[in-house]
Amino acid sequence: VLLYLETAMRVTELRVLRLEQCDFERCVIEFEPDEHKSGTYAAIALTDAAIDIIRRQPKVEGSPYVFHVDRQPVSEPWFRYQWERARDVAGCPDLQ
């Protein structure tokens, strides 16, 4: 959820984010045309905080995903549940 807030990525992009897309030297996440809603190449800027969030995620052999459950990308319902929990804790239940 913190990376979602830090980068304004789409949920669908965030859920399947792979470490190989993250260029920490150039401070961007890169999306090839088939990975992006627009169908074009896209790059999202990474702040120092966003890089830290990505680097703290546990790496599991056999999974290319930054966020995963049992080596698979997190599901949309899983992400939505985490978002709703974070909104409630922050006292912002209507935050979109």
pLDDT one-digit tens code per residue, 27-59: 999 998 888 777 888 899 999 999 999 999 999
β-sheet bridge partners, residue 87: none
Q: What average pLDDT does the chain have?
A: 89
Q: What sign for the dihedral angle of Cα 94, 88, 17, 56?
A: positive
pLDDT recorded at residue 54: 95
pLDDT recorded at residue 48: 96
Q: CA 41, CA 32: separation in Å to the nearest integer? A: 5
For residue 64, name the pLDDT band (cuts at 50, 70, 90): very high
> For the whole model, what pTM was predicted?
0.79
For residue 8, name the pLDDT band (cuts at 50, 70, 90): confident
